[in-house]
Amino acid sequence: DTEVTQTPKHLVMGMTNKKSLKCEQHMGHRAMYWYKQKAKKPPELMFVYSYEKLSINESVPSRFSPECPNSSLLNLHLHALQPEDSALYLCASSQEEGTDTQYFGPGTRLTVL
Amino acid sequence: QKEVEQNSGPLSVPEGAIASLNCTYSDRGSQSFFWYRQYSGKSPELIMSIYSNGDKEDGRFTAQLNKASQYVSLLIRDSQPSDSATYLCAATNAGGTSYGKLTFGQGTILTVHP
């Protein structure tokens, strides 16, 4: 089973709202990732967690705040977003950080009004 | 500076033909290579992973890796309309500042017409 789940599927929020995206995997993977994908572009890495610790932050604005409560869960807290933050947000996981295959969840389509 | 480049598309092939997708990478430290398929509005789906020089076959798909030439390709035999999607080539590096990062090419849009 290589399933990564994400909720919600779609999210519409105003610029003053606070919302959270959730990601879950039960494959025993120790690395989890957040990506942002704009239309007709490849995914862009935002954050990497390895063994529940933040390993990589790709200079993401502080209005995006990741959290890894345990080895199966990954959250992305959103606050004071801008319309240009509207995108498909993808979660992925891999056995270990590094060269292992990354499996993607279905994504959350975020629209910021 | 792009680290992974894919042949410019879009690519259009007739049903039943072989589709050839190509990718080059600039980082000689790259060790793992992946092909993902992405349907419009959906997330990337892993098609193939390849780590060693040579060919790797899985059903209608064959990935080829040539580390000396820094080249990786994906062949799709007996192409079907359901193969119409964007194909993303990606690479990871086992060390250095790129450790843990999956670097994607820009993607090649494939259309298989009946």
Q: Kindly report the nearest CA distance between residue B101 and chain A, in angstroms.
A: 7
Q: Which secondary-structure segment (H or E) carries B50?
A: strand B45-50
Residue A78 and residue A19: Cα distance in Å, rounded? 5
Which of A99, A103, A104 lies nearest to residue B31, judging by beta carbons? A99
Model confidence at B96, pLDDT cuts 50, 70, 90, reads: low
Structure-token pair, residue A87:
């995108």
Contacts of B97 (CB under 8 A, 6+ apart): none
What integer is the mean pLDDT of B2-18?
A: 90
Q: What pLDDT, in 10s, does the model give residues B54-74?
A: 999 999 999 999 999 999 999
* CB contact burial A101-110 (16+ within 10 A = b; e otherwise): bbbbbbbbbb
Cβ pair A103, A16 in contact under 8 A:
no
Q: Which residue has the higher pLDDT, B1 or A38?
A: A38
CB of A100 less than 8 A from some CB of B: yes
Percent of chain A with pLDDT over 70: 98
Q: Which residue has the higher pLDDT, A11 or B29?
A: A11
**pLDDT tens, residue by residue, B28-49:** 888 899 999 999 999 999 999 9
pLDDT of residue A9: 97
pLDDT value for B27: 87
Mean pLDDT value across residues A18-38: 96
**In terms of CA atoms, which chain A residue is nearest residue B45?**
A104
